[in-house]
Amino acid sequence: MGMRKDLNEFDKGQIVMARRLGQSISKTAALVGCSRSTVVSIYQKWSKERTVVNRRQGHERPRLIDARGH
């Protein structure tokens, strides 16, 4: 069903620039190799926040020793 892959910052930048230059959603999706909904969500995020950097924190295993015990 999906073409799920994590887009790097370069691909996100390509999406933003292609859309700003008037490229259609379908052509932009084909250029980057992602879904049309991904193009829409990346461009909407850029329009609202003026950035496409992902601020989500990684899910890592909790440390056994805290900073004081080190």
Model confidence band, residue 5 (pLDDT cutoffs 50, 70, 90)? low
- Name, in order, each residue with C-beta under 8 angstroms of 26's C-beta and a sequence gap of 6 or more: 36
Can you tell me the distance from the alpha carbon of 14 to that of 28, in angstroms, rounded to the nearest whole number? Answer: 8
Model confidence band, residue 64 (pLDDT cutoffs 50, 70, 90)? confident
- What is the per-residue burial (b if ≥16 Cβ within 10 Å, else e) of 9-36? eebbebbbebbeeebebeebbeebebbe
In the block, tokens 């992902």 appear at: 54
User: What is the tens place of the pLDDT at every residue in 6-36?
Assistant: 889 999 999 999 999 999 999 999 999 999 9
